[in-house]
A and B are shown apart, each in its own frame.
Chain A
Amino acid sequence: MIITSNLSKKYNSNPVLNIESLDIPKGQSFGLVGNNGAGKTTYFSLLLDLIQPTTGQIKNNNVVVHESEDWKPFTSAFIDESFLIGYLTAEEYFYFIGELRGQNKADVDALVSQFEDFFHGEILGQKKYLRDLSKGNQKKAGIVAALIGNPEVIILDEPFANLDPTTQIRLKGIIKDLAEKQGVTILVSSHDLLHVTDVCERIVVLEKGEIVKDLATNTATLKELEAHFAGRETV
């Protein structure tokens, strides 16, 4: 589904990302971990054509991302608060995204109603603009908005950060469900190794912009990751 080849990004000849090749098949739940500055957000931004690659390309469903905009209808993302429109209420925001993705009000209502648990009564019917919600609640709204319109690729940057424990657990359920039952390719980055190993079938570790590990998740993965980030390899 997503084929990355010879991709690199440099700022003033400072390399921040360098991925020779990375293939993410359709329906995979893919986790990206790495310390700050490893290039996670850079990779996602390249995937969304928000920054320009220095060399190479990403193909999303055979569309070269920085050459054509045809990837947009089937791709959605929530990276940070700049994906929210602060002066809309949550409902209005969902309807707006819905309209952009060819969904009518009823479609959006039907989808959003599935997430009442996840919202925990703090998003819908609040009579508040998104800008007045807490960071955690903003994130909930943003994540659900990224699910509107049956996207085939969903990109979530640090979805677990700022969420309360209950919501973190519910989010894990949602992500697993999407990848397993609905065949959605889902890309997640996180600093929380436990969550990522729980949710993702495959985990890639980035370090200074390079892929240093590419693991199929199994019972030993968490240990291996912890050892890696503690600075020692497993024996």
Chain B
Amino acid sequence: MIKRFLSLEWKQFTRASYFQKGIAIKILLILGALYFGGIAIFMGGISFFAFKKAFPEIDPIISINNYMIYWFLFLMLLRYFMQQLPVMNVKPLMVIPIKKDTVIHFLLGKTALSFFNFLSLFLFLPLTVVLLVKGYPIINVLCWFTALLMLTLCTNYLNFLINKSNTWFYIIAPLLIGLIALEYFQVFAISKPLGVAFNSLYNHAYLIAIPALLLYVLYRINFSFIKKGFYLDDTVSKKIKEVNATDLSWMNRFGDIAPFLKNDVKLILRNARPKQVLMMSFLFLFYGLIFYTQDTYRDMPAFLAFASMFVTGGFLMSFGQLVPSWDSEYYKLLMSQNIPYRKYLESKWYLMVVAVSISFVLSTPYLYFGWKIFAMIAAGALFNVGLNSFLTLFGGALNRVPIELNVKAKAFSNTNGFNPTQMLIAMPKILGPMILFYIPYKLINFEAGLIALALSGVLGIVFRSYFLNKIEQIYQKGKYKTVAAFGEKAN
């Protein structure tokens, strides 16, 4: 049975249209994976000696264990943002005689093959070899190594829970943040007892039972969680809320693009997925707090320019990068209706401009950090309106992943729109403001950097129709491909 599932998985993987079309991007991703894997092996190999050098009076294995928790924390964060959870099309499997348990075991087992688990393996395997060569007791080292791998798998399943169940997210996220805060503000250093714990894991080989038990428990929780969701119940007996038509006729003053704007507003307010994006982009407003409060960044204005762009650009980037995808469910309608691409794009652009403006108004409290910071935010906002918006729309035009609008995080749906492909497209958006600011800042002065950043945005607005034309051409060129890709249901 498992063999058959594997072949299904393989087919799904290779036959999806975005896989076939994005082969260049796939190759880049593979190169990236090799790069990070290589780094992990290298780090694993040298870490023993590095720790020995850093803390010459302590046995490296002890200092390594003391810092071990940071690796797992990092892994957890990385997973939360990057790991695509495995999905399997269960509906057709529900009525054929396969034991539910088999399907779920397969689904969970598959996650063990994730790249992130190998990252841990790559890191700890060379370290283990070094330890053995250096004559550390074999049993202890091997049990310790196995325990670490099991803990890695624990993060794997923990991440699954956090991603798929809001309850778990609201339990675990504040707990983690709270502990990190306590550590950071030196109230209570949780890393100390954890360091002791990792050391005991090494010193007493039998303690390997603890991570094994933890792994087992997490696996069972995941198992029962998925099993509970293994019904179509909630789709079949879906509660239908009564709704009222919203009157947005005041938006008619926007002329030609009003119908689209009205539609986009409804799109955002009435669907689960865009609502999530809206919430996320609100959090971006607080991004500046990380950078402006720290003295280290005060002297690195390029980073400040980057942060300032983020403060007002949250919605623009998270909504904009999925621009044609938002309309994927009814894309055929749009393509056969009396709609010029131009108006469609313009309406999305206006929406992003409005979002930047609102974010800018909301960011006025940053005045607290002084005029210089606020001027940077203003310049960043101009850059967002004039250049970033077009970059984002451009990136979106290349993105042909269909979105199910009203699907919230559920055990069998792929909810993370955040994937490495989009990271790749995001590079110029992030580096752009830094470079635009930094070069004139280095050559002339701070004000020159600000002016350059702001001017880039103004230029973008001036050449708006040129950019829109270019993006329109991409849309026109990719029309048939996009229609076909959106026709494929999102998994």
Q: Which residues of A contact B (CB under 8 A)?
A: 48-52, 69, 72-73, 75-77, 79-80, 82-89, 91-92, 96-97, 99-102, 127-129, 131-132, 149
| Nearest CB of chain A from residue B356's CB, rounded to whole Å | 25
Which residues of chain A are within 8 angstroms of B480 by Cβ–Cβ distance?
50-52
CA distance A100 to B257 in the complex (A): 10
B337 touches A72 (CB 8 A): yes
- Is there contact, CB below 8 Å, between B243 and A128? yes
Contact A82 B338 (CB under 8 A): no
Render B404-432 as a binary contact track against A, CB cut-off 8 A, 1 for contact. Answer: 01100000000000000000000000000
Q: List 13 A-B contacts (CB under 8 A).
A: A82-B329, A82-B487, A83-B330, A83-B333, A83-B336, A85-B263, A91-B245, A92-B245, A96-B259, A100-B259, A101-B338, A127-B243, A129-B243
Q: How close is A157's CB to chain B, nearest CB, in angstroms?
A: 11
8 tightest CB-CB pairs across the interface, nearest first? Answer: A99-B259, A83-B333, A48-B336, A87-B270, A72-B338, A132-B240, A82-B332, A127-B242
B240 → A minimal CB distance (Å):
5
B277 contacts chain A at the CB level, 8 A cutoff? no
Whether B406 pairs with A72 at a CB distance below 8 angstroms is no
Say which residue of A73, A82, A102 sits within 8 Å of B333 (CB atoms): A82
Are the CB atoms of A97 and B242 closer together than 8 Å?
no
Partner of B336, one of A75, A87, A92, A96: A75
Q: Residue among A79, A84, A87, A149 with the most chain B CB within 10 A? A: A87
Contact between A89 and B245, CB atoms less than 8 A apart: yes
A91 contacts across to B, CB distance below 8 A = 245
**B110 lies within 8 A of chain A by Cβ:** no
Cβ of B406 and Cβ of A97 under 8 Å apart? Answer: no
**Cα separation A49 to B483 with both chains bound (whole Å):** 10
Determine if B331 and A82 form an interchain contact, defined as CB atoms under 8 angstroms apart.
yes
Q: Among B238, B258, B332, B484, find the residue whose CB has the most chain A CB atoms closer than 10 A.
A: B332
Known: A92-B266, A127-B244. A99 touches B337 (CB 8 A): no
Q: Does B340 contact A (CB under 8 A)?
A: yes
Nearest Cβ in chain B — how far from A91, in angstroms?
A: 6
Q: Which residues of B contact A72 (CB under 8 A)?
A: 336-339
**Chain B nearest Cβ from A135, distance in angstroms:** 14
Name B280-338 residues within 8 Å CB distance of A: 329-333, 335-338
Pick from A50, A76, A92, A131: contact of B332, CB below 8 A: A50
Q: How far is the CB of A75 from chain B (nearest CB, A)?
A: 7
B267 at the interface (CB under 8 A from A): yes
CB contacts (< 8 Å) of B487 on chain A: these are 82
Contacts of B263 in A (CB 8 A): 85, 88, 96
CB contacts (< 8 Å) of B267 on chain A: these are 87
B271 within 8 A of A: yes
Chain B positions within 8 Å of A85 at CB level = 263, 329-330, 333
Nearest-CB residue, chain A, relative to B337? A100
CB-based contact A77/B336 at 8 Å: yes
> Given the known A-B contacts A83-B330, A100-B259, are A73 and B338 also in contact in the complex, defined by CB atoms under 8 Å?
yes
- Bound CA span A101–B337, Å: 8
Q: CA A88 – CA B244 in complex, angstroms?
A: 10
Give the interface centre of B246, B329, B340 by most chain A CB atoms within 10 Å: B329
* B interface residues, Cβ below 8 angstroms from A: 238, 240, 242-246, 258-259, 262-263, 266-267, 270-271, 329-333, 335-340, 405-406, 479-480, 483-484, 487
- Assuming A79-B332, A99-B258, is B406 touching A51 (CB within 8 A)? no
Contact in complex: B266, A87 (CB < 8 Å): yes
CB distance from A122 to the nearest CB of B (A): 14
Report the bound CA distance from A73 to B340 in whole Å.
11
Find the B residue at minimum CB distance from A51: B480
* Closest Cβ neighbor of A145 among chain B residues: B333
Contacts of A75 in B (CB 8 A): 336
Chain A positions within 8 Å of B240 at CB level: 128, 132
B339 touches A49 (CB 8 A): no
Set A50, A88, A101, A132: member contacting B266, Cβ < 8 A? A88
Q: Which of B329, B333, B405, B483 counts the most A-chain CB atoms under 10 A from its CB?
A: B333
* Residue on B nearest A88 in the bound complex, by CB: B266
Contacts A49-B479, A82-B333, A101-B338 aside, 10 further interface pairs with beta carbons under 8 A come to A49-B336, A51-B480, A82-B332, A85-B329, A85-B333, A86-B405, A87-B267, A96-B259, A128-B243, A149-B338
Residues of A within 8 A of B242 (CB): 127-128
Bound CA–CA A69/B262 (angstroms): 24
Let me know if B483 and A50 touch, CB within 8 A: yes
Select one of A69, A80, A102, A149 contacting B340, CB under 8 A. Answer: A69
Is A100 touching B339 in the complex (CB atoms < 8 A)? yes
Residues of A within 8 A of B330 (CB): 82-86
* B336 contacts A50, C-beta separation under 8 Å: yes
CB closest chain-B residue, reference A142: B333
Question: Would you give the shortest CB distance from B269 to chain A, in whole angstroms?
Answer: 9
| Contact partners of A49 in chain B: CB under 8 A | 335-336, 479
Q: B238, B335, B405: which contacts A48 (Cβ < 8 A)?
A: B335
Which A residues lie within 8 Å of B333 (CB)? 82-85
Q: How many angstroms from the CA of A73 to the CA of B337 in the assembled complex?
A: 7
B274: nearest chain-A partner, CB-CB = A87
Task: Note all chain A residues with C-beta closer than 8 A to B332.
Answer: 48, 50, 79-80, 82-83
Give the Cβ gap from B156 to chain A, nearest Cβ, in Å: 34
A84–B330 Cα distance when bound, in Å, is 6
User: What residues of A have a CB within 8 angstroms of the CB of B338 in the complex?
Assistant: 72-73, 100-102, 149
Nearest-CB residue, chain A, relative to B336: A48
- Residues of A contacting B258 in the complex (Cβ-Cβ under 8 angstroms): 99
Neighbouring B residues of A131 by C-beta, 8 Å: 406
* A52-B480, A75-B336, A127-B244 given; A86·B259 CB < 8 A: no
Instruction: Give the residue among B240, B258, B263, B336 with the most A Cβ atoms within 10 A.
Output: B336
Interface centre among A73, A88, A97, A127 (most CB of B within 10 A): A88
Q: CA A101 – CA B240 in complex, angstroms? A: 31
CB distance from A76 to the nearest CB of B (A): 8
| Closest chain B residue, CB of each to CB of A85 | B330
Shortest CB-to-CB span from A10 to chain B, Å, is: 14
A122 to B233, CA, bound (A): 25
- Chain A hits for B339, CB < 8 A: 72, 100
CA distance A96 to B257 in the complex (A): 12
A21–B338 CA distance with the chains assembled, in angstroms? 27
From known contacts A86-B405, A100-B337, infer whether A51 and B483 are also in contact, taking CB-CB under 8 Å.
yes
